Structure 1
Amino acid sequence: MGKIFDSIDDTMKAWIETQPLWFVATAPLSTEGHVNVSPRGHDSLSVLNEHRVAWVDFTGSGVETIAHLRENGRVCLMFASFERRPRIVRLHGRGTVALPGDAEFDEVVALHPEHPSTRAVITVDITRVSDSCGWGVPVMEMTGERDLLRLHAEKKGADGMAAYRVEKNSLSVDGLPGFPA
């Protein structure tokens, strides 16, 4: 049976920060809209305190997380252990988007390696922390990070990435304003 916690303690913080893969789920207000679940990785997440996390958001083929957070703020992060000891942790909360030039953007970006695909910082104020067994999650081995995101961004260059964001990140699949809005 799962447990509910008041906050992220030091032990949970250490576990979260070692997970190489985690997921972000958001949804628009419209019942006709699409729920989105995005995998995340690389060195991009920070537990800022017991009630707040943030991550460096990289340019992708879509912009659902940013669009949904701007519309309603609802978000759930899920971390699952694929190692021998099973565990799932979910962080529910309200998310906000910080852009280059915002103090929060600069603060979080400084905590992680520079990445040419960086487009925003997402900060989540945690309202619920839970964990569960994860007994149904397979045991898997991490063999390394993909470098495709970095290579793609380096090949396009800063101007090419800006153009890509205009083309691919302006609107969500449901037509909500995306990046930069």
Structure 2
Amino acid sequence: MAKRFETLSDGLRDWIERQHIFFTATAAPSGRVNISPRPTTSFRVLGPNQAAYLDRTGSGNETAAHIRQLNRITIMFCAVEGPPSILRLFGTAEVLSRGSAAYEDLLASAYGGEEPSGARQIVRIDFDLVQTSCGYGVPLFDYQNERASLENWSNAKSAEELEAYQRLNNQTSLDGFPSGMFEDS
């Protein structure tokens, strides 16, 4: 039932755009494996073997810390409405720090220069394997809307308060690996 592709076709790209959630999976050589949900509103396909997502401030920063240790990543989309399907992108990733030239260039080209409140980095992914599978085990859900919680939380904070939160919660992983935030400051 699973199919493998070397690149992302236009049809699969269109399918991704209709989804509402994706998951990132990363791991360092030791310690815990991390899986994080993300809204597809932050995801961009940049080419047949490249994608990115704009990452916002969260309770931790496991993905960035793991990528610094071992840059492997898997992105997974699951259809929770309509026909069942799962799509995975297997590859490597790089974290583009907020304010860096690479971040600013990608923000301009892929996000129209629009930076949501609480933005902290962009994760750029180079993938060499696209895999689809049946998704028969994924339950059906009715999409209602995006949650406003993160937007409301970050909008209620000043730039200084967001930075203080990031310094306290986003500089190391659960296993103590550095995320790379604030290394140049």
Supply the distance in 1 between the matched residues of 2:17 and 2:27 (Cα, whole angstroms): 25
Conserved? CA contact 1:4–1:131, under 8 Å: yes
What one-letter code is carried by the residue in structure 2 that aligns with 1:146? R
Partner of 2:73: 75
Structure 1 residues 119-149: Cα deviation after superposition (integer angstroms, max 9, x where no partner): 0000010021100000111111110001111
Q: In the TM superposition, what is the alpha-carbon distance from 1:178 to its structure 2 partner?
A: 1.4
Partner of 2:51: 53
Count of matched residue pairs: 179
Partner of 2:89: 91
TM norm structure 1 = 0.95
**SS at the partner of 1:159?**
helix
Partner of 1:14: 14
Supply the distance in 2 between the matched residues of 1:16 and 1:103 (Cα, whole angstroms): 28
Supply the distance in 2 between the matched residues of 1:18 and 1:107 (Cα, whole angstroms): 26
Identity %: 38
1:23 correspondence with 2:23: yes
TM norm structure 2 = 0.93
Structure 1 residues 32-84: Cα deviation after superposition (integer angstroms, max 9, x where no partner): x0100000005111000000000001110001000000111010000000112
Partner of 1:40: 38
Supply the distance in 1 between the matched residues of 2:64 and 2:37 (Cα, whole angstroms): 14
Question: Segments of 4+ in structure 1 off by > 2 A?
Answer: 100-104, 107-114
Supply the distance in 2 between the matched residues of 1:13 and 1:84 (Cα, whole angstroms): 16
Partner of 2:130: 129
Aligned-CA RMSD value: 1.2
**SS at the partner of 2:14?**
helix
